[in-house]
Amino acid sequence: MPMVNIAGKEVEVDEEGYLVDLSQWNEDIAKYMAVEEKVDLTDSHWEVVNFLREYYAEYQIAPAVRVLTKAIGKKLGPEKGNNKYLYELFPYGPAKQACKIAGLPKPTGCI
């Protein structure tokens, strides 16, 4: 699988650019992935990215969009747990893009 050099460290990514080894994740990698995805990371983006990392730690999967939206609504409130808000932050799919930035695999049940 391809290797990329991120902030002086060699990391392995899959053919779609997702980090292979979750434990290698750090903020430099998140920033690199964000540039790849053409996302300008703000605090609002970080909130979703950190939420996904917590979700993964708890359930060992990356959630599907629908599940992510609902879970964010529960934790951060309905003004954030909706498609409009999340797609504004991650236009090419909140689960897909935010998972990549969070160092998670591509979401299960993402079709």
CB-nearer residue toward another protein: 24 or 41 = 24
**Burial (CB count <10 Å: 0-12, 13-18, 19+), residue 31:** middle
Applying CB under 8 A, among 4, 20, 41, 71 the residue interacting with another protein is 71
**Burial (CB count <10 Å: 0-12, 13-18, 19+), residue 4:** middle
- With CB under 8 A as the contact rule, which of the stretches 5-13, 35-43, 44-52, 56-64 interacts with another protein? 56-64
Applying CB under 8 A, among 4, 20, 41, 64 the residue interacting with another protein is 64
- With CB under 8 A as the contact rule, which of the stretches 2-10, 13-21, 33-41, 55-63 interacts with another protein? 55-63
Known active-site residue 110: yes
**Burial (CB count <10 Å: 0-12, 13-18, 19+), residue 39:** buried
Residues that bind another protein (CB under 8 A): 58-61, 63-67, 69-71, 83, 108-111
